[in-house]
Amino acid sequence: MIAILKKELRTYFTTITGYAFLGFFTLITGYFFISQNINSGYANYNDTLTGSLIMFLLLIPILTMRSFSEEARQKTDQLLYCSPIKITDIVLGKFLAAVILFMIGIVITAVFPCILNFYAANENMDVGLTVAGLIGYFLMGVCFISVGIFISVTTDNQLVAAASTFAVIFMLLMMDNIAQSAPTGSKASLIFTLAAVLAVSVYVYITTKNIAVGIVFALLGGLVISALFLIRPNIYDGAIASVLGWFSVLRRFENSYLGIINISDIVYYITFSSLFIYFTVNTIEKRRWA
Amino acid sequence: MIEVKNLTKKYGSFTAVDNISFTVGEGEILGFLGPNGAGKTTTMNMMTGFISSSSGSIKINGFDMLDDALNAKKQLGYMPDVPPLYGDMTVREYLEFVFDIKKVKKSDRQTMLQNICALTGITPMLTRLCSHLSKGYKQRVSLAQALVGMPDVLILDEPTSGLDPKQIIDIRNLIKRLGEHRTIIISSHILSEVSAVCDRVIIINEGKIAAMDTVENFSKDGSASKQIVSVKCGFEEAKDILSNWNAVDKVYLKNEEEGVSTLKVVAKEGKDIREIIFAAFAQREIPIIMLKDAENSLEEAFLNIIKGEYTPENKKPSEDEE
């Protein structure tokens, strides 16, 4: 894993990727810092963080687009997968390299809150609040990186990886709005849940290559869900919104913004990232076993 | 050593590799021959653990590729058909990275690196970027990569493609030298290469083993018994002349142009018939333009197996004569 991590970090700095990422990261954060804090004379750095969340749309794809797709294009994946290293180590190495670069970005821009802390005249900066904000901000970035890494393993084209990562992060950022406009009726929720069960069944079928298992899974799931609907239809009220709401990475950030470090939020972020790392490992393994 | 048992690879309904079994011992060099798309690379990819098998087992030095993949991969060096190089690394950086992922002891690295570079002749290129190398050097760095850790088993997919004739000879000699104490599998579609380097040959066609034997056995019947001859007369006349001789078994027409026929003459019981051919045509005062050994038997076996796919190559020798 260390070997992969070292190699990835070196690649970030021998190509333009690392510099582009850090440059844009500092530039955009700096812009929000000027407009939110300096010009308005306001010492809450978390406003800068909230404002600059939008840059994840562009910067996370820069970090992750080449990670696996470039290996596939250069055929260097053969070298990696034929070496005595576990797939999990390869994925973790690449993931951690991106996380470290992201951390370097945060450390560089940490100069901004320091400036606030030293020079804010009227009101002092709340250090605890800022630290909570930075932790939330970091964890959210890590989630997006895991999504980006997963997407890059599905294609050997960097541009496709970048565009898909952009789209998925956009959806994740917009998830609150989508959830709000989702239909709230229990029948719509039933259909939504059934569709979800069907999708999971298809995934089960693809991974196990066993049509019987897939069908049994779909039938059982459909039966349970329909039975629940007949017995207690009220649990389906607003189900779509709450399910989609779970995916809202942004909602979790609200706590950090307010200076609250919530264990459940941290667990959420870690679960979310682990899930996508698992998907990445699984996709590589499956392709080798297909 | 390598043990492959009932190896099969299916892509949906298409069977790329169909129930292949063989073993390769220590100190043996095995050649994989076959036309494009025969399943050579798929088989090699399975043996190196890059892709999985649909069924069957692969054992490398006793470690199963399925159950104990990490240990099995430790025994292996693999040179894929496309050099797996990182364009943004120098050759030295690249090889150091390969040392890292193959977990070679730090203390062994310096000497091993020097050895490998000397063997493959890439020492002057160590500070160049991989993306700036010529095709031949990329190929050699790819071979160097397979040698990292000096594994017991080497699997080389078309190791000499893209090299110039001098380098081809160098690499062949290197493979022979490495093969003295190792197990090596090379794939190739160059027949002369396989017969020059390998001890044993497997011919693969349409995913199946079509033939498996030692190189000597493939060419046992003696090449002097099959001759290509160009004479200045019509085919029927030449055939009549030759059929008067008992030692001649069969006569085939290869080409007939501007009064010169090119024939393939096969002798009975593997006899040397060069003198007979000379005598036969000399009696009738028909000049022999050319007389040479027919293609070696490995090539013949190969062509018989994949019949119909190699006609353009068959024509080549007769075109050259004019």
pLDDT tens readout for residues A239-272: 777 777 777 888 888 888 888 888 888 999 999 9
Residues whose CB falls within 8 Å of the CB of residue B302, separated by 6 or more in sequence, listed in order: B33, B191, B203
> For residue A5, what pLDDT band results from cuts at 50, 70 and 90?
very high
How confident is the model at residue B314, as a pLDDT?
A: 40
How confident is the model at residue B321, as a pLDDT?
A: 35
Residues whose CB falls within 8 Å of the CB of residue B184, separated by 6 or more in sequence, listed in order: B28, B29, B30, B153, B154, B155, B156, B175, B178
Paired sense of beta strands B55-60 and B29-33, if any: unpaired
Q: Give the nearest chain B residue to A288 (CA atoms).
A: B51
Q: Is B207 in CB contact (< 8 Å) with chain A?
A: no
**Separation CA B209–CA A232 (nearest Å):** 63
- The angle at the Cα of A157, spanning A154 to A159, to the nearest 5 degrees, equals 110
Q: Give the nearest chain A residue to B49 (CA atoms).
A: A82
How confident is the model at residue B95, as a pLDDT?
A: 94
> For residue A121, what pLDDT band results from cuts at 50, 70 and 90?
low
Q: Is A80 in CB contact (< 8 Å) with chain B?
A: yes
Q: Calculate mean pLDDT across residues A86-97.
A: 94
> For residue A133, what pLDDT band results from cuts at 50, 70 and 90?
very high
How confident is the model at residue A165, as a pLDDT?
A: 95
**Separation CA B184–CA B178 (nearest Å):** 8
Q: Is A289 in CB contact (< 8 Å) with chain B?
A: yes
Candidates A77, A82, A282, partner chain B, best to mutate (most B CBs within 10 A): A82
Smallest Cα–Cα separation from B129: which of B189, B184, B89, B76? Answer: B89
Q: Which tops the pLDDT comparison, A104 or A249?
A: A104
Chain B: nearest CA to A76, how far in angstroms?
Answer: 4
* Contacts by residues B235-240 (CB-CB < 8 Å, ≥ 24 positions apart): B235/B261, B235/B263, B237/B286, B238/B263, B238/B281, B238/B286, B239/B263
Query: Are B100 and A6 inside 8 Å of each other by CB?
Result: yes
Q: Is A211 in CB contact (< 8 Å) with chain B?
A: no
If residue B228 lies in a helix (H) or strand (E), which one and from where to where?
Answer: strand B226-231
Q: Calculate mean pLDDT across residues A118-143.
A: 85
Q: Give the nearest chain A residue to B142 (CA atoms).
A: A79
**Separation CA A95–CA A279 (nearest Å):** 13
How confident is the model at residue A224, as a pLDDT?
A: 86
Q: Is B85 in CB contact (< 8 Å) with chain A?
A: yes
How confident is the model at residue B94, as a pLDDT?
A: 94
How confident is the model at residue B240, as a pLDDT?
A: 85
> For residue A123, what pLDDT band results from cuts at 50, 70 and 90?
low
Q: Give the nearest chain A residue to B146 (CA atoms).
A: A79
Smallest Cα–Cα separation from B75: which of B182, B23, B147, B153? Answer: B153
Please answer whether residues B7 and B53 qualify as being in contact, where contact means their C-beta atoms are separated by less than 8 angstroms.
yes
How confident is the model at residue A122, as a pLDDT?
A: 61
**Separation CA A83–CA A71 (nearest Å):** 14
If residue B156 lies in a helix (H) or strand (E), which one and from where to where?
Answer: strand B153-157
DSSP string for B51-81: S--SEEEEEETTEETTTSHHHHHHTEEEE-S
Matching residue, tokens 């530039």: A27
Q: Give the nearest chain A residue to B90 (CA atoms).
A: A14
pLDDT tens readout for residues A32-81: 999 988 888 888 888 899 988 889 999 999 999 999 999 999 999 999 99
Q: Tell me the two tokens of residue A101.
A: 């670069």
Candidates A14, A17, A78, partner chain B, best to mutate (most B CBs within 10 A): A78
Q: Is A76 in CB contact (< 8 Å) with chain B?
A: yes
Q: Which residues on B lie below 8 Å from A77 (Cβ)?
A: 84
Report the amino acid identity of residue B266: V
Query: Are B70 and A6 inside 8 Å of each other by CB?
Result: no
DSSP string for A182-193: S---HHHHHHHH
Please answer whether residues A31 and A51 qualify as being in contact, where contact means their C-beta atoms are separated by less than 8 angstroms.
no
Shortest CB distance from B100 goes to which of A3, A14, A75? A3
Mean pLDDT of chain A: 88
Task: Map out the domains of chain A as residue ranges.
Answer: 2-178+248-288, 186-237
How much is the pTM? Answer: 0.82
Report the 10 Å Cβ neighbour count for A94.
28
Residues in chain B predicted with pLDDT less than 70, given as ranges, are 219-224, 270, 295-297, 300-301, 306-322
DSSP string for B286-305: PPEEEEEEPSPHHHHHHHHH
Q: Which residues on B lie below 8 Å from A4 (Cβ)?
A: 101
Chain B: nearest CA to A95, how far in angstroms?
Answer: 17
Q: A-B interface: how many C-beta pairs under 8 angstroms?
A: 70
pLDDT tens readout for residues A196-240: 888 888 888 877 777 888 888 888 888 888 888 888 777 777 777
Q: Is B88 in CB contact (< 8 Å) with chain A?
A: yes
Shortest CB distance from A14 goes to which of B49, B88, B98? B88
Query: Are B84 and A288 inside 8 Å of each other by CB?
Result: no
Paired sense of beta strands B183-188 and B29-33, if any: parallel
